Amino acid sequence: MRFDILTLFPAMFTGPLTESILKRAQQAGLLDVRLHDIRAWASDKHRTADDAPYGGGAGMVMKAEPLAACIRAVLAEEPPAPVILMSPDGELLTQAIAQELARAPRLLLVCGHYEGLDERLRATLITRELSVGDYVLTGGELAAMVVVDAVARLVPGVIDAASTAEESHSDGLLEYPHYTRPAIWEGLPVPPVLVSGHHGEVAKWRRHERLRRTLARRPDLLARAYADGQLTRADLLFLAELGWER
């Protein structure tokens, strides 16, 4: 899968892209991340990419011409791709959206900065807008990294498929708790079922813990999982024992 990231600050991506799983995925040829410096598309000698807002007020606005030229040049390559702007007023990124994006062969991610983009770019070249949360970052670079990371780990081969099957937000429930050696740490033992060697009981315990945790932390998700028909009869009986009222 290919990501094209359009940014005024390409150096910000060093680190996230050069460590751990994203690094290995690129080395394995599963991921191709290309950084494009928007400033390189500015035509004046100062490489100006922003200007004062019409109507006055604080901050600077990213100019239309350099970013439009950059988007068009990158879009001219194959395969076709959606042009996704990182924006605090965009659609909230969810695991379901990450799963949808992971099926695309290529994504163009546009990082805003300062007060954001000239609105005419959003009305013409931008095809989708994504927010990583209801807060405001200084720029779209960290948001784009979040998108790359969340999407890339769902690309087949990047990590073990079993790791993403039952994790939080993958199927409406949160994940069960994990433990590793030693069996007793500072007087705290791991739940006995996990060292019982009984796979059926471990699976049942994990399902119960997913339900218990989702009820305690995100009852809104539980209600949605119920409405979507994702809870079994056994799940509902267990939830009733926990006092959940539909």
Ligand X SMILES: C[S@@+](CC[C@H](N)C(=O)[O-])C[C@H]1O[C@@H](n2cnc3c(N)ncnc32)[C@H](O)[C@@H]1O
- Interface positions with ligand X (CB under 6 A): 86-89, 111-113, 115-116, 131-133, 135-140, 143
Six token digits for residue 25: 């995925």
User: In angstroms, what is the minimal distance from the CB of 140 to ligand X?
Assistant: 3
Residue number of the CB closest to ligand X reads 112
User: In angstroms, what is the minimal distance from the CB of 105 to ligand X?
Assistant: 23
User: In angstroms, what is the minimal distance from the CB of 148 to ligand X?
Assistant: 13
Residue 36 or 210: the one with the smaller Cβ distance to ligand X is: 36
User: In angstroms, what is the minimal distance from the CB of 198 to ligand X?
Assistant: 45
User: Which residues, including other chains, have CB under 8 Å from residue 141's CB and lie 6 or more apart?
Assistant: 7, 9, 12, 13, 111
Residue 137 or 223: the one with the smaller Cβ distance to ligand X is: 137
Residue 10 or 140: the one with the smaller Cβ distance to ligand X is: 140
Residue 53 or 177: the one with the smaller Cβ distance to ligand X is: 53
User: In angstroms, what is the minimal distance from the CB of 123 to ligand X?
Assistant: 15
User: In angstroms, what is the minimal distance from the CB of 129 to ligand X?
Assistant: 8
Residue 131 or 214: the one with the smaller Cβ distance to ligand X is: 131
**Please, are residues 61 and 50 in contact by the beta-carbon 8 Å criterion?**
yes
Residue 106 or 113: the one with the smaller Cβ distance to ligand X is: 113
